[in-house]
Amino acid sequence: QNFIKSKSWIKTNKTLLLELLDIIGEVSVNHLLYQGESGCDSLMLFDSWASLVPEDSFDDIIIAPTKKIISKIKKTFTTITYPKGIGHKIISFDKHVQSNVLGVDHHTDLNWLLKNISSSTVLQGNLNPHVLREGGHKLVSETEKILEMTKQRKHIFNVGHGIIKDTPVENVYKVLDIIRRF
């Protein structure tokens, strides 16, 4: 559950891992470019497991490969990166990767992020998907809070990590109504 074997393998096979990441990166670039050529206006690169990478390998395993991919597709298409769960490392990630938009998960403290990230960074996120599912007053207040906090910058409102399967559609419509009226 805590990926001990995987983390151990990374430490003992880092050269091989970096070679594999290069191959995966090239395949990802080709796939993303194909999506763009097929009509997508923006291309999003998800790294849902970024938080699990050991601190001493983060730059080599997360930042460098992501930067390489983004630099190859950003020339032609708008790019969005989503490094889930990386906490304070999101500042360094944004500075080095330089995608057009930075996806922010719902665990990231938006107040802290806004104080520490470049004002030119376009953010996407970060409504808690559980709050969206539950609805009610908390959904209204959290949605309004995010809108208020981000009103002085470019921001794409979104959930922090996908919509939960049993989320009532009415709750999604409620968020859309709040955004439209803001």
Q: Are residues 82 and 113 in the same domain?
A: no
Helix (H, G, I), strand (E, B) or coil at 158: strand
Q: Are residues 105 and 167 in the same domain?
A: yes
- For 64-111, what is each residue's pLDDT tens digit? 999 999 999 999 999 999 999 999 999 999 999 999 999 999 999 999
Q: Are residues 170 and 115 in the same domain?
A: yes
* Half-sphere exposure (Cβ direction) of 10: Cα atoms closer than 13 Å: 16
Count of structural domains within the chain: 2
pLDDT-based confidence at residue 2 (cuts at 50, 70, 90)? confident
Q: Are residues 72 and 133 in the same domain?
A: no
Domain that residue 68 falls in: 1-94
Please identify, among 44, 59, 94, the residue that sits at the C-terminal boundary of a domain: 94
- For 112-134, what is each residue's pLDDT tens digit? 999 999 999 999 999 999 999 99
Q: Are residues 77 and 63 in the same domain?
A: yes
- Supply the DSSP symbol for 51: G
Alpha-carbon distances, residue 78 vs 102, 143, 163 (angstroms): 11, 25, 23
Instruction: Quote the pLDDT of residue 1.
Output: 67
Alpha-carbon distances, residue 114 vs 16, 48, 110, 156 (angstroms): 37, 22, 6, 14
Q: Cα–Cα distance between 109 and 24 in angstroms, integer? A: 31
What is the average pLDDT score of the chain?
96
- For 42-59, what is each residue's pLDDT tens digit? 999 999 899 999 889 999
Q: Are residues 90 and 112 in the same domain?
A: no
pLDDT-based confidence at residue 3 (cuts at 50, 70, 90)? confident
Q: Are residues 80 and 4 in the same domain?
A: yes
Helix (H, G, I), strand (E, B) or coil at 83: strand
Return the residue matching tokens 């999506």: 35
Helix (H, G, I), strand (E, B) or coil at 105: coil
- For 154-179, what is each residue's pLDDT tens digit? 999 999 989 999 999 999 999 999 99
Q: Cα–Cα distance between 60 and 46 in angstroms, integer? A: 17
Please identify, among 94, 123, 155, the residue that sits at the C-terminal boundary of a domain: 94
Q: Are residues 83 and 106 in the same domain?
A: no
100's tokens: 């057009």
In the chain, the DSSP E strands lie at 42-47, 78-83, 101-104, 122-127, 155-159
Q: Are residues 143 and 88 in the same domain?
A: no
Question: Cβ–Cβ contacts within 10 Å for residue 76, how many?
Answer: 12
- pLDDT above 90: percentage of residues in the chain: 91
Q: Are residues 160 and 71 in the same domain?
A: no
